[in-house]
Amino acid sequence: MLQPERFSRFGDWTPWQGLSVSGRLEELRPFYAGDQASNRMDAVRRAINDIRSNWDRYPQFMHELRIFMEAHGLDSGDRDDQSAKRLRALFSSTKEWLEPEMASGNSDYSAIQLYTSEYGYRKMFQTINLAFRSDHLEDDAQALRCATFLVELLTIDLFNYRAANTGADNFEGHVYRGMSVSAEDLEMFGRITRGPIAERYLAIPLAMASASRDRIKALAFALEECSRKPGRYPLLWDITVSGMSPGLLHVYQERFPESVVTSLCAVPIDRLSDYHDEKEVVLRGPHFQILRLTKRENAEAAAGPIHVIEALMLNSNRDHISAIASNIGQDRRSRDLFRTLITIERSAICAQHAERCGRSADADSYHEMVRKNRAALPALMDAAAALSRSGKAARGQAVAPDR
C-alpha cells in the first residue's frame, strides 16, 4: 500500500523540546525542570513503582488512561479507521514483560503499532507532554500515572519485540533526524558543543524519539521545510548507536546478576510499521553525547550547506519489571554503578572520535572522564557487595566472603 511521506516524524523539534534536558540549554524547560527538580523525578519514580507493584490493577490503569485521553481531547480529531482500530486494540490489551522463550509467541504490539501511525504518534506525545511538563506534576497524580503507564506500555512492547526478533535486538549503527532551524536555534546547539564535555549532551529521559536509518529520508523534512520558510537552516542529527562492551557489562552483572540489561534504548520497528521504507528506530529515553557541529555541502538539493550534529548514544538499558525505581538502597547502588559504566563506555568511544577528528583537547578531556569514573568503580562495587551481604544476612542466607 502506497503511503504518503511523513517528513515530520524524523525532523520535528517540537516533540523533543519540551521533554529534553541539557547541561547547556538553560532556557529549555524539561519535564523535571525548576527548583523542585529532584522532587519531580522522585514523583516519576514513585509512579513507576506504583504501577509495577500493582500490575493487578492493569484494567483500572488502562481505563484511567482512556478516560484521561478523552477528557483532554487526546482521543478525538483526525484519526482514520485504522488508527481508531489500533487505539481500541491498545485499550483492550493486556501486556506483560515476557521472558525470551515466551516473547517469540507474542503478537500484541498494539502500543508500538499505534505509535507508528501519525495520529498515534501525536496523541501519545500530547499525553506525555501534558503530564510531564505540568507545573503541578507532583499534585496531579492521575496525569502522572496515565503518562507513566503509557510509557510503560510502549516500553513493554519494545522489550518484548526486541526479545522475539533477533534483527531488532542489540541494534548498533547510524540513525538520523533532520530539522529546520532558525539562526537562534543553531546558536543554541552551538553553545552545547562549545561547553565542557560533561555538559555536551541532550537527553530525553522518559520518552521516545523516532529516528531513521535512512539519511535521505531524515534530511527530507529539513530540506522541504527550509524551501518553504526563508531564513531557516537544514540541520541533520547523525547519531551513532553503540552497545556496552562485554567486559563492562560483566562488571555490572557480577554485582547485580538478577538485573536485566537489554538494548531497549534503540529498537528498529520498521517491520511493525505501515511505512517499512522509513527504516524507523525508536530511541527510548536516549542520552545523546554531542560530539561536534559541522557544516557540509548539500549534495541532495540546492538548499545551501547542511549543518550536522554528530552525536553518540548507547543502546544499553536496565529498565525492567524487576527494577525498583526508588533510587535508594539496592536500586541506588545498581543505578550508580550502571551510570558509571555507561559513562566509561561512552567517554571512551567519544575519545576515539575526537582523536580521529584531530580534536586533541576533547580527546584528553574524555580520557580524563574515563579515568575518573574507573577510579570510582572499586567503591561502587564494594558498596554493592556490602548491600548484597547485608540483605542475605537479614534473610538468614549464607554469606560468602567477597573476592
Interval 246-269: pLDDT, tens = 999 999 999 999 999 999 999 999
Domain ranges across the chain: 7-325
40 or 275, which is more confident?
A: 275
Run of H or E residues at 180? strand 173-181
pLDDT value of residue 40: 65
Q: Model's pTM, two decimal places? A: 0.88
> How do residues 233-244 score in pLDDT, each as one tens digit?
899 999 999 999
The answer to whether residue 227 scores a pLDDT higher than 70 is yes
pLDDT value of residue 182: 87
In which band, very low, low, confident or very high, does the pLDDT at 386 lie, cut at 50, 70 and 90? confident
pLDDT value of residue 4: 44
On whether the CB atoms of residues 45 and 325 are closer than 8 A, the answer is yes
**Portion of the chain with pLDDT greater than 70, in percent:** 82
On whether the CB atoms of residues 289 and 312 are closer than 8 A, the answer is yes
pLDDT value of residue 77: 55
Cell digits of residue 362:
576533547
On whether the CB atoms of residues 330 and 255 are closer than 8 A, the answer is no
**Which residue(s) pair with 174 in the sheet?**
240
> How do residues 289-348 score in pLDDT, each as one tens digit?
999 999 988 765 555 789 999 999 999 999 888 877 666 778 889 999 999 999 999 999
The answer to whether residue 170 scores a pLDDT higher than 70 is yes
In which band, very low, low, confident or very high, does the pLDDT at 81 lie, cut at 50, 70 and 90? confident
Stretch 354-378: mean pLDDT, rounded?
97
Of 392, 370, 372, 319, the C-alpha closest to 155 is 319
In which band, very low, low, confident or very high, does the pLDDT at 118 lie, cut at 50, 70 and 90? confident
pLDDT value of residue 76: 53
In which band, very low, low, confident or very high, does the pLDDT at 109 lie, cut at 50, 70 and 90? very high
The answer to whether residue 400 scores a pLDDT higher than 70 is no
The answer to whether residue 173 scores a pLDDT higher than 50 is yes
Most confident residue range from 27-36, 75-84, 162-171, 196-205: 162-171
Sheet holding 287-296, edge to edge: 201-203, 287-296, 306-314, 233-242, 173-181, 208-212, 280-284, 266-268
Backbone angles phi and psi of 301, in degrees to 5:
-155, 170
